[in-house]
């Protein structure tokens, strides 16, 4: 603590707090890909979240239901939302503010809370189911590997493992150290994604071979009968969903991008630094997109090539054992253990990224309604740790109550697709009101942003109508 000349006690500010933009925190941006590599990180945490529930559960399930016919939707889903993600991160880097602070600025407001944050709160409730399904998936994989208390798919064993997964996650992530979160995310993503992509590429040399005709047939922009619901859920989950677009802003700040730009003094030097660090963010987002797009395609192709011809669709607690057929039917029964270890890694990576991300977003929501001061470092960290403990317990309880990971993940996916509408509105509002025009993207990027926004709005409206049964078919 320090006092000014009048003896008034001033609030101490932690010098290394990434959310405090000070002249002392300014750092020159790197130039080129080689120099930028060491500054990547937010996108890798994003990939850890994405290469998980969406890919292992929703995308593989869609492949099993629809076969190759809807391959185009997988590619479209991962590509269309990136421009919105980048534009939101541009605002964050230039202002040092995270997403829910921005959401609360979009009029109209209902008392202390903006309408976007109100919708975010409803999405967060649906995410209790989605992330609960992820907790359940990890617990089931562990239970099949090491049954405790009888039948590995029975309530006793899965409940014990759910408790272990919840407690272990809290213990590992309680510190909320950015470097630890980033390193863990990288390790979890790389191992399983690499194995999965190699297996998908190797399928043509097995009895479940797919052909060029299968791939081309999946690019005809059609949705088979009976697969519409899964396709809508997949659009909300795969690629960057509304929740990933939201929490990417927090990791951009905590990596240091905004702090290195420094406070906006209106100078040309500030604009130059901001554009430099925004270019680093572009590269970070591109690498992330490559990782989760290839991972998504691999999971979909495996579901379409292996599960769909056999009429196998992942359901209930049998989800993990059904999905393991992708591996055992191509490599042999020994591969079941390989898959289960991989399932722990890939679903665990989503959980690893979800706990600290949602803890930050929930804390930020409380700050927007006046419960706490977001700029108070110690108070912010204390609340983040409270949610780090509370959220996994809530998610685990949701799984034990419903015990249907696929359904739980798909419900969350539909809600995420609807909330993307609000994200697009917020991004354009903040771009118009708070982003310095000197930081706008190129003409090509702006055109892509418009196209992406229109596509998200149309599909978001369709998702909303489908919930009320107002769509044909």
Q: Residues 67-93: pLDDT tens digits?
A: 787 788 778 878 888 999 999 999 999
Which pLDDT band, with edges at 50, 70 and 90, does 226 fall under? Answer: low
Give the residue carrying structure tokens 């409270």: 386
In this structure, the number of other CB atoms found within 10 A of the CB of residue 19 comes to 18
Q: Please write the tens of the pLDDT for every residue from 424-448.
A: 999 999 999 999 999 999 999 999 9
> Whole-angstrom Cα distance, residue 179 to residue 425?
32
Higher pLDDT, 16 or 252: 252
* CATH class label, 41-467: mainly alpha
Q: For 160-174, 339-353, 364-378, which range has the lowest pLDDT when averaged over its residues?
A: 339-353
Q: Encoding tokens for residue 145?
A: 């590997």
Q: Rounded to whole angstroms, what are the CA distances from 128 to 169, 396, 419?
A: 16, 9, 15
Range among 205-209, 280-284, 339-343, 404-408 rated most confident? 280-284
Q: Does residue 463 contact residue 233 with C-beta atoms inside 8 Å?
A: no
In this structure, the number of other CB atoms found within 10 A of the CB of residue 85 comes to 26
The share of the chain scoring above pLDDT 70, in percent, equals: 83
Higher pLDDT, 76 or 35: 35
**pLDDT at residue 121 tops 70:** yes
pLDDT of residue 369: 94
pLDDT of residue 90: 98
Give the pLDDT mean for 209-233.
74
**pLDDT at residue 412 tops 70:** no
Q: Is the peptide bond before 381 cis (omega within 30 degrees of 0)?
A: no
> Whole-angstrom Cα distance, residue 106 to residue 453?
17
**pLDDT at residue 377 tops 90:** yes
Tally the residues of the chain: 473
**pLDDT at residue 338 tops 50:** yes
Give the pLDDT mean for 197-208.
74
> Whole-angstrom Cα distance, residue 296 to residue 131?
18
Which pLDDT band, with edges at 50, 70 and 90, does 342 fall under? Answer: confident
Average pLDDT, rounded, for the chain? 84
Which pLDDT band, with edges at 50, 70 and 90, does 407 fall under? Answer: low
- Side-chain half-sphere of 162: how many Cα atoms within 13 Å? 28
Q: Please write the tens of the pLDDT for every residue from 126-147.
A: 888 878 888 888 888 889 888 8
pLDDT of residue 449: 93
pLDDT of residue 466: 64
Q: For 178-187, 230-239, 246-255, which range has the lowest pLDDT when averaged over its residues?
A: 230-239
Higher pLDDT, 85 or 294: 85
pLDDT of residue 8: 43
Q: For 22-31, 164-173, 199-208, 403-412, which range has the lowest pLDDT when averaged over its residues?
A: 403-412
Higher pLDDT, 360 or 297: 360
Q: Please write the tens of the pLDDT for every residue from 229-244.
A: 666 666 656 677 888 8
Alpha helices in 256-376 (DSSP H): 257-261, 268-302, 319-323, 325-331, 335-368
Domain spans in the chain, listed from the N-terminal domain onward: 41-467
Give the pLDDT mean for 406-434.
83
pLDDT of residue 2: 43
In this structure, the number of other CB atoms found within 10 A of the CB of residue 205 comes to 9
Q: For 49-58, 199-208, 304-313, 384-393, which range has the lowest pLDDT when averaged over its residues?
A: 49-58
Higher pLDDT, 401 or 460: 401
């Amino acid at each position: 603590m320090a006092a000014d000349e009048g003896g008034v006690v001033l609030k101490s500010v932690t010098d290394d707090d990434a959310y405090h933009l000070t002249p002392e925190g300014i750092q020159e941006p790197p130039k080129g890909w080689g120099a930028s590599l060491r500054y990547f990180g937010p996108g890798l945490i994003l990939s850890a979240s994405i290469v998980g529930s969406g890919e292992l559960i929703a995308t593989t399930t869609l492949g099993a239901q629809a076969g190759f016919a809807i391959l185009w939707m997988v590619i479209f889903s991962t590509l269309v939302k990136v421009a919105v993600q980048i534009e939101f991160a541009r605002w964050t880097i230039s202002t040092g503010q995270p997403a829910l602070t921005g959401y609360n600025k979009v009029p109209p407001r209902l008392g202390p809370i903006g309408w976007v944050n109100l919708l975010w709160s409803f999405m967060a409730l649906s995410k209790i189911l989605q992330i609960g399904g992820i907790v359940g998936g990890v617990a089931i994989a562990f239970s099949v590997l090491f049954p405790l208390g009888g039948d590995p798919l029975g309530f006793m064993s899965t409940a014990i493992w759910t408790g272990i997964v919840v407690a272990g996650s809290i213990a590992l992530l309680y510190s909320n150290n950015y470097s630890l979160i980033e390193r863990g995310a990288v390790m979890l993503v790389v191992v399983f994604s690499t194995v999965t992509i190699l297996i998908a590429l190797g399928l043509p040399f097995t009895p479940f071979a797919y052909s060029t005709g299968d791939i081309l047939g999946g690019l005809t922009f059609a949705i088979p009968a009976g697969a519409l619901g899964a396709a809508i859920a997949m659009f909300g989950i795969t690629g960057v969903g509304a929740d990933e677009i939201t929490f990417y802003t927090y990791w951009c700040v905590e990596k240091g991008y905004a702090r290195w730009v420094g406070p906006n003094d209106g100078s040309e030097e500030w604009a130059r630094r901001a554009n430099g660090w925004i270019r680093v963010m572009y590269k970070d987002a591109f690498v992330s997109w490559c990782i989760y797009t290839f991972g998504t395609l691999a999971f979909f192709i495996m579901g379409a090539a292996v599960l769909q011809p056999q009429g196998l669709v992942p359901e209930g607690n049998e989800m993990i054992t059904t999905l393991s057929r992708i591996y055992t039917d191509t490599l042999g029964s020994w591969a079941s253990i390989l898959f289960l270890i991989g399932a722990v890694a890939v679903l665990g990576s989503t959980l690893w990224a979800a706990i600290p991300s949602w803890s930050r977003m929930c804390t930020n929501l409380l700050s927007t309604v006046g419960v706490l001061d977001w700029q108070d470092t110690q108070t912010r960290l204390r609340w983040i740790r409270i949610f780090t403990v509370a959220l996994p317990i809530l998610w685990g309880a949701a799984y034990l109550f419903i015990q249907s990971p696929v359904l739980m993940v798909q419900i969350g996916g539909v809600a995420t697709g609807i909330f993307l509408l609000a994200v697009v509105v917020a991004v354009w509002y903040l771009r118009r009101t708070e982003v310095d025009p000197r930081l706008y993207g190129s003409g090509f990027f702006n055109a892509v942003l418009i196209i992406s926004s229109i596509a998200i709005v149309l599909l978001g409206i369709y998702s909303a109508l489908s919930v009320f049964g107002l769509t044909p078919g």
